[in-house]
Chains A and B, each alone.
Chain A
Amino acid sequence: MSAEVYAPPEEAAASPAKPHRAPRSYGPIRWLPRILFLLPFVYWVLWRIPNDEAGAPILADACIYAIVGLSLNILIGYTGQLSLGHNGFFGIGAFAAAYSLTVRDVPFAATFVIAGLCGALFALFMGFIALRITGLYLALITLVFGLTLEESLFEVEWLTNSGAGQPADRPEWLFDDRNFFYFCLSFLLLAVYIDWRLLRSKTGRALLALKENERVAEAFGINVTAFKLLAFVLSGTLAGVAGALLAYRIGIVTASGLGFNLALTFVLMTVVGGLGSRLGVILGASLFASLTFLLDETWVGVVQTFLVKVLSFGNHTAEINIEGSIVGFIGALGLLLTIVLNPGGIAQQIRPITRWLSGKPFSLHDDKDTGPGSVEGSSVRA
């Protein structure tokens, strides 16, 4: 992030002053190529893949991860609070939904409310801690929080059935994976809408100010306490609901599926996607949700096979070992490369296209005028 965020002062000063410049108008016709460009994607994502038996569950996973990504983005991307314990909020949502549905016979719809509330409650707790503990120490305490939940609360037998897992059966009308994908997608759209409204509101601007400098924000009359807590609660709610979706997606929840590595995967996908960018985060999350599938089942697998062959030097045992860890390897490599070489993540790479799609002329140069949603760089702040 170094270069981008410590932007030269003239640019930083110029960008808010610059009006949201409308491109020269070609009339409504200029949207035509853009719509044509998007059509195949829409067709594949909304129709072609969901109708594939193996593809639909993966898309549902992608939606769930994307919601978590948005949730994490509110904390890291907008507010500048690093959370390495998002598996905690996510997991408590999953268990709360599964427990209330299976054990307490709560109606299906209500389980989402419960999951969201539980996620919010835990996040509120973490928010209070974040009022006192900041920066590196916050990162540490969130990490320990996630690990502790994984080994304690997620192992409490009445809530989680310990290792056996708490079942969560979908209702009849969602049994079909395609329907379930559309169900998840509607939640994702809702999350995107909330995120969009948030950023355009006073709250959103307050959060961004918090990230830049808490003391300055406070001096400008922003209620730091309230907005920080709000960010945590909002993030926790989204993560909790996503957890509930995961419970129904799989049909069972266990602690071992919600560990430390998941927490890191969440951070990883958000950073690789591009912190601060809604679309980037969604793309990053989808990528990580489907990575195993892509590598195993599609033509992308050629990459895997190639990597495995190269790394194993033709040694058979090594080949097997490498195959088992290749997804984690690619993920970790992606994270390190992103942080070190490409702090803006996927969002930065696709910016020319997104800018063109939003109605501006196509250009490879980044004009920095992309609105508050596209905060530059992996700007997690100490």
Chain B
Amino acid sequence: MSLAHSVHKRRGLVLAVLAGALLTSACGLKPEVKDQLKAGGGAVGAGTTGGVDAGTTGAIDAGTTGGAGTTTGTIAGGTSGTSGGSGTSGTISGGTSGTTGTTGSGGGTSTTGGPANAPVQGQGTTTGIDFEKKTIKIILHGPLTGAGVPQESFRTGGPKYWEKSGPNGGPRLIGGFRVIAEAVDDKYNAQDALRACNAAAKTAFLIMGGAGTDQIQACGQSQVLRRGNVPYLSAGVTETGLGSVSNYFATSLTYKQQSPLVIRAAREQGYLNKKWAIVITGTPNFADARESMTAELKKAGVQGKAGPFGDGDIYLTEKTPRDCSDVGIKLRSGGYETVYFLGQPLFFGQCVAQWPSATYTGPGPSFGIQSVADLACRGGASQYHAYYLHPAPDKAASQIEARKFAKDTPDFTDDIESGIWGGMQGLEQAFNLVKGPLSRESFIAALAAAGVPGGVTNPAVYNGGSRFGGTGAYLNKITCNADKGVIKTIANYKK
């Protein structure tokens, strides 16, 4: 890079702050604007993407059963369940907030003993549903390769639920339809994730995010997903740019929501009043986690390297492998006793290898805690010990919970499988919320107006107007036993 360019960059920094402010406000604005655009496009008849289109068809079809199909979607609430369903699809595609949606699906719930939630051809967007084979395809994206901890379990977790956890170890059906859960590779980076998600939007009914904040955020903000009304569910990660996305649902607590719980865990487990450091990936998607955690630490009055915890105790890491050893060395030379770590598993291993004697802690969507723990235990000479939050309890506890719900659940191989299994359990509950014919629109409307009780995972609630619906997280204690990580759930924290 030329000198001239780096000088230019510095000057740009000031402008960038302004531009950044503009960007954030633009981000807030954009969805609305885009949605209005999209609704307009739909009315003109832009094929499958037009939510309004779908609504109209729905209403006309509903005429045969409901008779009141001619009533407009929003008023249809009380009159007929089916047209209520179609009404929601209209409002969801048109509006952004959940308020009108609630009215619509209120109509849905009023239909007692209505038709099962089986999809019906021509009623709403039913991409990914094969009416001949009677299957619903859903796609889960996760790091099958790349710097995350790629795991076979990303592939097997979904089928384990849908194919093997039904009665007598058979499939679990949604309105008589089998669910085909496929995993696609996001290579642990946002670019490939978005590529995969946009492709998946054309073949799958809905998409779920496995792990990885940047990847989930990129897919959550996808225009293709939003225009296609593709329901997108993920573990809670960042809140940046996802708050106003009409088709997005976080199924567990976001990092920001978990910050107070991290403090609570530290207080109860007795490592709060130690020297703290925050090690976090330097991406804007972790800004909310970083800021909330910093605020919480300052509020709790904890110590940093020298004196009260301050900005000098926050270490940003990047994708450069070199950085992580450096950060590890700094943690050691700074004498930190507790480290809040949020970042790539690969780097975590490097950090721990340099400074294994600190207590590591942090929030968790993180699937793969077992393999990360194994890595850290080997690299850190078995001194590694940590407290991490996680959407699901440890493997054994998850197994018990799962069998309460579906007694023929096969054994889980690791925490990724149990986590995905728990996610699928919530998904089935969400499918069952839909009272009319299942479509992408009716699914989003039904879920947005309610929540799911969970089972393996804590309940998720969306009718409060927020899509970050997680309500609790499990605290896991991680220790080493001869190079192997041992994970034990010690508490279930409610928000």
Contact = CB atoms under 8 A, between A and B. Distances in A.
Direct A–B touching in the complex (beta carbon < 8 Å)?
Answer: yes
A57 B194 contact: no
B283 A250 contact: no
B218 interface: yes
A164 B19 contact: no
A216 B20 CA distance: 53
B65 interface: no
Nearest to A317: B152
B194 A252 contact: yes
Interface in B182-219: 185, 188-192, 194-195, 198-199, 202-203, 214, 217-218
A67 B9 CA distance: 29
Interface in A279-328: 317, 320, 324-325
Given A103-B23, A324-B145, A257 B189 contact: yes
A255 interface: yes
A252 B191 contact: yes
A169 B202 CA distance: 18
B19 A104 contact: yes
Contact of A158 (B12, B188, B195, B203): B12
A184 interface: no
Q: How large is the interface on A (under 10, 10 to 19, 20 to 34, 35 or more residues)?
A: 35 or more
Given A151-B319, A164-B214, A251 B9 contact: no
Interface string A145-159: 000110111011111
A256 B285 contact: no
Given A167-B221, A254-B190, A256-B319, A162 B202 contact: no
Given A103-B23, A175-B223, A254-B189, A161 B283 contact: yes
A175 B20 CA distance: 26
A257 B195 CA distance: 11
Interface in B254-288: 281-285
B320 interface: yes
Chain B contact residues: helix, strand, loop or mixed = helix
B318 A162 contact: yes
B201 to A, nearest CB: 10
B227 interface: yes
A159 to B, nearest CB: 8
Contact of A320 (B152, B199, B221, B285): B152
Nearest to A158: B16
A324 B150 contact: yes
A102 B23 contact: yes
Contacts of A158: 12-13, 16-17, 19-20
A11 interface: no
Interface string B2-22: 100100010011001101101
B396 interface: no
Given A162-B283, A253-B191, A54 B222 contact: no
Contacts of A169: 223
Contacts of B59: none
Contacts of A102: 23
30 contacts: A54-B199, A57-B198, A57-B199, A102-B23, A103-B19, A104-B19, A148-B1, A153-B1, A153-B5, A155-B319, A156-B9, A157-B284, A159-B12, A159-B16, A161-B283, A162-B282, A163-B190, A163-B318, A164-B214, A164-B284, A169-B223, A172-B41, A175-B227, A251-B198, A251-B223, A253-B191, A254-B190, A257-B189, A257-B192, A320-B152
Interface of B: 1-2, 5, 9, 12-13, 16-17, 19-20, 22-23, 37, 41, 144-145, 150, 152, 155, 185, 188-192, 194-195, 198-199, 202-203, 214, 217-218, 221-224, 227, 240, 281-285, 318-320
